[in-house]
């Protein structure tokens, strides 16, 4: 016998691909109804045989999207409304807002492959993202999490990105920051006078210059960590006499050239958060001592956005 159930999920469930996940799962289980973002989390209306809904509910709780964190859930019987398909419903807004926002997530392997593929339309595009990665907390202006509630509202999607956004089988299905070189933000390199230097950032770093780079959440000053004069100049400009600098390495192989690295530390470096990890320096590494004066450890991180 067909029954109706209302399922509520709270926690880190917005900006982590939860609605697309529920949509696909509902198709597998033959569930009719809808899923939406609310000001408290995610709400699901499910109509099907009771055992199908029970299995659907268990699967949501036991195998949610990898970035999701479920902290509270409930399922309640409701009157059948007779839906004939499952769909993503427009988000509900209310004055009561109690949803946990996902942090920004480092670039996933799929997006990394795209930005390094000369034949891909997102080749070298610094703002590439998908449902599994990219900006979240930094761009959200309000909840529920929808594009019109983020800083991406000023960048309407082009037809190609819109097709990806509406395709349930694509990993950018309902990826709110979805964009490409045609429709998304662009990068520029300027000096203090406003002169533009397209594509010369890497060359400037090799020449020993210091750049101010706008990352996801703000600006950071960068220089070539192997250039002693540049590191010393950066320390002087920041008026930072002793506090250690963090070092960004291309990959784990580069990290191992300068630091001892355990499997646990490597796993942490490559985790979705891509945090700065404090590592023990190798005795004969050739990095300037000005990076971390008087100590035998380095704060190391891996690139966490396509720009980096």
pLDDT for residue 175 is more than 90 = yes
Which pLDDT does position 192 carry in this prediction?
Answer: 87
Read off the pLDDT band of 305 (50, 70, 90): very high
Sign, CA torsion 147/148/153/156: positive
Q: Token digits for 163?
A: 């097709």
Residue 177 reports pLDDT greater than 80: yes
| Model pLDDT, residue 95 | 64
Please name each of the domains of the chain with its CATH number.
2-88 (3.30.70.100), 103-185 (3.90.870.30), 201-301 (3.30.110.120)
**Is residue 154 scored above 90 in pLDDT?**
yes
Predicted pLDDT at 143:
84
Contact 277, 249 (CB under 8 A): no
Q: What is the phi/psi pair of residue 184, to 5°?
A: -95, -175
Comparison of pLDDT for 51 and 98, the residue scoring more: 51
Q: What percent of the chain has pLDDT over 70?
A: 98
**What's the pTM?**
0.84
Q: Quick check: 209 and 223 in contact, CB under 8 A?
A: yes
What distance in Å separates the CA atoms of residue 302 and residue 306, rounded to the nearest whole number? Answer: 11
C-alpha 293/C-alpha 303 separation (Å) is: 24
Confidence of residue 286 (pLDDT cuts 50, 70, 90): confident
What is residue 214's predicted lDDT score, i.e. its pLDDT?
87
pLDDT at 91: 84
Q: How far apart are the first and last CA of the chain?
A: 55
Q: Are 42 and 95 in contact (CB under 8 A)?
A: no
Contact call for residues 86 and 32 (beta carbons, < 8 A)? yes
CB distance 104 to 137 below 8 Å: yes
CA 294 to chain centre: 35
User: Which DSSP category does 214 fall into?
Assistant: E
- The rounded distance, in Å, linking the Cα atoms of 253 and 269 is 12
What string of DSSP letters covers 94-124?
-S----PBPPPBPPPHHHHHHHT-TTSTTTT
| Strand arrangement of the beta sheet that strand 277-280 belongs to | 246-248, 297-301, 277-280
- At 128, list the tokens: 């590439």
């Amino acid at each position: 016998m067909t029954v109706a159930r209302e399922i509520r999920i709270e926690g880190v469930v917005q900006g982590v691909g939860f609605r697309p996940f529920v949509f696909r799962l509902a198709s597998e289980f033959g569930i009719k109804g809808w899923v939406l973002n609310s000001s408290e989390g995610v709400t699901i209306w499910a109509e099907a045989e009771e055992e199908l809904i029970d299995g659907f509910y268990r699967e949501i709780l036991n195998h949610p999207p990898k970035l999701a964190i479920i902290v509270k859930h409930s399922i309640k019987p409701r009157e059948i409304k007779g839906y004939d398909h499952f769909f993503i419903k427009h988000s509900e807004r209310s004055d009561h807002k109690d949803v946990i926002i996902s942090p920004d997530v480092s670039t996933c392997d799929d997006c990394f492959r795209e930005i390094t593929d000369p034949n891909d339309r997102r080749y070298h595009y610094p703002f590439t993202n998908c449902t599994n990665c990219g900006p979240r907390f930094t761009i959200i202006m309000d909840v529920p999490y929808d594009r019109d509630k983020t800083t991406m509202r000023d960048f309407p999607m082009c037809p190609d990105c819109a097709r990806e956004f509406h395709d349930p089988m694509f990993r950018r299905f309902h990826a709110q920051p979805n964009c490409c070189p045609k429709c998304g933000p662009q990068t520029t390199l300027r000096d203090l006078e406003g002169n533009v230097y397209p594509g010369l950032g890497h060359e400037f770093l090799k020449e020993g210059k210091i750049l101010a780079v706008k990352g996801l959440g703000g600006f950071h000053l960068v220089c070539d960590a192997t250039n002693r004069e540049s590191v010393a100049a950066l320390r002087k400009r920041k008026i930072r006499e002793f506090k250690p600098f963090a070092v960004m390495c291309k990959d784990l192989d580069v990290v191992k050239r300068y630091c001892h690295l355990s499997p646990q530390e490597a796993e942490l470096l490559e985790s979705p958060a891509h945090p700065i990890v404090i590592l023990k320096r190798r005795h004969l590494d050739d990095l300037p001592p000005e990076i971390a004066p008087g100590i035998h450890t380095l704060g190391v991180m891996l690139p966490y956005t396509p720009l980096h």
